[in-house]
Structure 1
Amino acid sequence: MKKILVVGSLNMDCVVSVPTMPAPGETIMGSGVDFIPGGKGANQAYAIGKLGGQVQMLGSVGPDALGETLKANLAAVNVDTTGIVVNQAEQTGQAFITLDGQGRNSIIVIGGANQSLTTEMIDQFKQAIADSDIIVMQLEIPLEVVMYVKEYALSLGKTIIVDPAPATKDIPTEFWNGIDYIKPNETELALLTNREGTSKADVLAGARELIAKSVKNVIVTLGEAGCLLVTKDQELTFEPYKVEAVDTTAAGDCFIAGLALSLSKSEKIEDAIRFGQQVSALSVMKKGAQTSVPSIAEMQEKWG
């Protein structure tokens, strides 16, 4: 099994449960508050670890109880946390999530220590990059850090997976070059390619644009419509796995984790995508981010 390195964010999620999303200016009564370990990077590392992968996390937290809790939670599923820096000048990142009765969410992220991650900090852990086979990143840390890690990993011939969330417009052209796998959803893809629509034609056009910018594989997750793989030579549609959604908070992170884990076992991309879909499908049946990640036993019970 190949070694996976996740470079990204760690947040403590404050999840507020509501019957419906409040409209602007509206006050509603919630039904509960939960504090759950999260952050896109940490979620992906946690899921890979819980599913049995060999994984290390690089990131930054503050000198507070939240940071200690996040590190301990990762260590509990055998994630190597020696690359998580404690920044004495910042607080640990937090996310405030409103979750409605249909499992839909809206999220506000306070970056905190995640935004203080620098290329100099990364330099302390270049050996970890060299020792890993697959590098997984997201955009909840500074873009310059993501690009710095990507360029170094590319020079070493590593497999690079990017979850471009939260998506933003006007990303430099050189960002895309050499990425092996990128996984936006249809809304993120529209932002990344400066498009207004999310129809199938828009999705295909956006994916082809990223391929033209030297991304090797574009995987677009489409929610209840499944997902789409676009490469230079083919376009494949993957039907969804039907489940009853409770909370979609970490669905994309679980997909990335399943994808990376399968690739670490040298499985075909089609099988890796299906496994990612299965992990993601089970995750939306539970509430929270890392608390929703399924175990291997749960995966086997559900999917065989």
Structure 2
Amino acid sequence: MEQIVVVGSLNMDFAVEVKEMPEKGETILGKKVSLIPGGKGANQAYAVSRLGKKVQMIGAVGTDIFGDKLVGNLEKAGVGTEGICRVENRESGQAFVFVNEAGENSITVIQGANQDLTEARVDENEERIDRCDAVVIQLEVPVPTVVHTAQVARKKGKLVYLDPAPARPDLPDELFASVDIMKPNETELKILTGMEVSTGKEIILAAKSLLKKGVGAVIVTLGEKGCVLVTEKLVKEFPARKVNAVDTTAAGDSFTAGFLAAYEPDGEKREENLEEALLFAGKVSAIAVTRKGAQSSIPTLAEVMEEQKGED
């Protein structure tokens, strides 16, 4: 796939470094705060471009200084930003990210202008969808927009990839039926299906329930345990690469970008291509978690290849 469209969120991340996450009712002293461009959609677009693919971003920001910085950062990475609209009298999306010494994070998102990414605004960018090979969506923008985007892309024969975060239990069935590949983590899988996911067997059963709703393939990311691929024909685990994680903020978005950059949706070799793309995705996310921040942590294709050369 050479041309990818990402339809989703742009947020300015306020990354707060803390020793430990605060308990309920507790006041703690943070170590440092940094302003870093983020948002699941923007992170994925930024990462796909860093990995050498052409990518267009469809989204919405406010007319504030954060909007300027969010769009400018994507442009520096080579992302096409003509599909990003500026919404008057609305603040850009913001995320408050707490990161502890173990590299674990907790995130609160203020949607801001992301709420103004409507179905009509997606339709205004139909030409971009026409020219692409795959459309990537998440759930930090209105669900009706997500459903509409998936259905439009499916009708046009495009690969539809859904990162279902933040997960919610009330997604309409027509969305699942329009998704080729879905990538939930364990928590998201539990929310989406209402099923237990405490064991490997339970995770597989929950993933298969999504297949029954029409999803083509499910990739369940398991953090330091890697991921598991579930299709109608295959169930396979992929162990995580051992690294010293310092910040997992953009790990999932880097994984998504790595997968899309490597995946070749050839009908005859689909299962083989899925596996190869997942291995590459693991390499990309393993590098990202060793660095701080969202877009600031995402590696280039050259860095991934250099890391692989060192292992060989």
TM-score by length of 1: 0.97
State yes or no: 1:269 paired with 2:274. yes
Counterpart-to-counterpart distance in 1, 2:260 and 2:143: 21
Amino acid at match of 2:308: W
Corresponding position of 1:293: 298
Shift of 1:264: 5.6
Query: Partner amino acid for 2:7?
Result: V
Aligned partner of 1:211 in structure 2 is: 211
Contact 1:2 1:264 survives alignment (8 Å): no
Amino acid at match of 1:281: A
Q: Which amino acid aligns with 1:278?
A: K
Deviations 1:214-250 (A, max 9, x none): 1111000011111100001110111111101000000
Q: Would you say 1:88 and 2:88 are equivalent positions?
A: yes
Q: Structure 1 residue 199: deviation in Å?
A: 1.8
* Off by >6 Å, runs of 4+ in structure 1: none
Residues 181-217 of structure 1: per-residue CA shift (max 9 Å, x gap):
1000011001000124432122111100011111111
* Contact 2:265-2:273 at 8 Å conserved across structures: no
- 1:297 is displaced (CA, Å) by 2.5
Distance 1:264 1:45 in 2: 18
1:262 deviates by 1.0
RMSD, matched Cα: 1.2
Q: How many residues align?
A: 304
Alignment check: 8 A CA contact 2:62 2:90 kept: yes
Amino acid at match of 1:290: Q
C-alpha contact 2:197 2:206 (8 A) present in aligned 1: no
1:301 Cα deviation after fit: 2.0
- TM-score, with normalisation over the residues of structure 2? 0.95
Q: In the aligned structure 2, how far is the partner of 1:140 from the partner of 1:165?
A: 7
Q: Quote the residue 1:63 is aligned against.
A: 63
SS for the counterpart of 2:263 is helix
**SS at structure 1 position matched to 2:77:** coil
Residue 308 of structure 2 corresponds to which residue in structure 1?
Answer: 303
Name the structure 1 match of 2:34: 34
Q: Deviations over 1:60-92 (max 9, x none)?
A: 000011011011110111100000000113110
- Is the partner of 1:268 in helix, strand or coil? helix
Deviations 1:128-181 (A, max 9, x none): 111111000100001100100111111111011000000001211111003111
Matches within 5 A, 1:156-167: 156-167=156-167
| Deviating more after overlay: 294-303 vs 102-111 | 294-303
The alignment partner of 2:306 has SS state of helix
Give 3-state SS (helix, strand or coil) of 1:141's partner. Answer: coil
Aligned residue for 1:254?
A: 254
Q: Is the Cα–Cα contact under 8 Å of residues 189 and 197 in structure 2 kept in the other structure?
A: no
1:278 aligns with 2:270: no
**Shift in Å at residue 56 of structure 1?**
0.4
Deviation of 1:296 after TM superposition, in Å, equals: 2.0
8 Å contact from structure 1 (residues 190, 198) kept in 2: no
Distance across 1 between alignment mates of 2:265 and 2:72: 27
Unaligned runs of 5+ in 1: none
Report what 2:269 is aligned to: none
Matched residue, 2:18? 18
Q: CA deviation at 1:265?
A: 8.6
Instruction: Report if aligned partners of 1:17, 1:98 keep a CA contact under 8 Å in 2.
Output: yes
Gap regions ≥5 residues in structure 2: 267-271
1:122 Cα shift?
1.2
1:189 is the counterpart of 2:194: no
- Bigger drift between 171-180 and 34-43 goes to 171-180
Identity of aligned residues (%): 47
1:19 and 1:101 in contact (8 A); partners too: yes
Given that residues 2 and 265 in structure 1 are in contact (C-alpha distance below 8 angstroms), is that contact kept between their aligned partners in structure 2? no
Code of the residue aligned with 2:285 in structure 1: it is: S
